[in-house]
Structure 1
Amino acid sequence: MGKNKLKGFLPVIIFFIALNGFFISGKNMLNRWGVDQEVVIYGNLLLFLLTLFSWLLAQSGLKNPNPHAFIRSVYMSVMLKLFVCMIAAFIYIAINKSGLNKPGLFTCMGLYLVYTFLEVSLLMKVLKEKKNA
């Protein structure tokens, strides 16, 4: 990954590291709230990787002189992230029918929104900085 791409993605990386630090160090607090630590750590990792892939797709779309290529890459990344998260949730629900951790699942849903908001706000910032946007 290039230096410029990493610089723009840095807030997401910091957010991911801070959240994992909280999830690892706050195991007792998560247990009091009824949140399974493994569910939120794996959910956070999945969302981070999907956001990274989505960011890279958007960056490649920005390099293309055709503005429709950027729009297609953003739509594709949003749909991919949504469907992968839905499939992961369905797999988790199917495997853990009796021991389903709803607070952990709802936490991951909230994290999905936060990662999506972060990605969109960073893309808007990159678009404003781009001279021909």
Structure 2
Amino acid sequence: MDKTKENKTIAPLFILFMIVTGFCTVTKTWLTAKNIDPIVLGFGNILLFILSLAVFSIQKRAIQNPNPQVFVRSVMLGTFIKLMIIAIVIVIYLVAAGESRSIYAVIACMVLYIFYTVIDVRIASNLNRKNGSS
């Protein structure tokens, strides 16, 4: 896959990342008033974006394998890896933050996880469709 096609493929991830980052920056006071820590939300957004790029890399490599099961496993593995890393990071945050933790920011990050996962699956579906038609 050349760089232009790759950039087009991951554009939805980048767009979601930019929208959430802009939202956290512009509405910092509003988020704070709603007991949502914008720094925690921003960190969760960055982490999910990086994990989604890593999952895309795994899927891109797997689509080139002639065995279709490898691609299916890569999609499931990517979702599982993201879920486990996010769960570990949330537990670390909740323990480290103590009483100053922002539960609403954690819930917002879980919603972001769903958005990123939906986009990841759509990208995987498009990769599979393009590979099948080639």
Q: CA separation in 1, counterparts of 2:129 and 2:111?
A: 27
What is the TM-score when the length of structure 1 is the normalising length? 0.92
Equivalent residue for 1:72?
73
Q: CA separation in 1, counterparts of 2:42 and 2:34?
A: 15
Q: Deviations over 1:26-65 (max 9, x none)?
A: 1111112111010000000000001110111111111111
Residue identity opposite 1:91 in structure 2? I
Equivalent residue for 1:54?
55
Equivalent residue for 2:15?
14
Equivalent residue for 1:42?
43
Q: Deviations over 1:95-125 (max 9, x none)?
A: 0121110110000000000100111112212
Q: CA separation in 2, counterparts of 1:116 and 1:75?
A: 11
Contact residue 63 and residue 127 of structure 2 kept, 8 A = no
Equivalent residue for 2:116?
115
Contact residue 5 and residue 59 of structure 1 kept, 8 A = no
Gaps of 5+ in 2: none
Q: CA separation in 1, counterparts of 2:87 and 2:81?
A: 10
Question: Does 2:86 align with 1:98?
Answer: no
Contact residue 61 and residue 69 of structure 1 kept, 8 A = yes
Gaps of 5+ in 1: none
Partner SS, residue 28 of structure 1: helix
Equivalent residue for 2:90?
89
Partner SS, residue 129 of structure 1: helix
Residue identity opposite 2:80 in structure 1? M
Q: CA separation in 2, counterparts of 1:127 and 1:57?
A: 13
What is the TM-score when the length of structure 2 is the normalising length? 0.92
**Could you tell which deviates more after superposition, 65-74 or 7-16?**
65-74
Q: CA separation in 2, counterparts of 1:2 and 1:72?
A: 25
